[in-house]
Amino acid sequence: MIIIETKLKGAYIIDIERRADPRGFFARAFCQREFRTLGLNPVIVQANIASNIRRGTLRGMHFQFPPASETKLVRCTRGAILDIIVDLRPESPTYLQHVAVELNESNQRALYVPERFAHGYQTLVDNTETSYQVGEFYTPEAESGLMYNDPRLGLTWPLPVSVISDKDQKFRLLSEVESELKGRMELAGAES
Instruction: State the catalytic residues.
Output: 62, 132
Q: What stretch of H or E contains 73?
A: strand 72-78
Strand order in the sheet with 128-134: 2-5, 12-15, 110-113, 72-78, 128-134, 46-52
State how far the Cα of 98 lies from the Cα of 59, in Å rounded to an integer: 16
3-state secondary structure of 1: coil
Are the beta carbons of 183 and 162 closer than 8 angstroms? no
Beta-bridge partners for 37 = none
- Strands 80-87 and 46-52, by their bridges, are unpaired
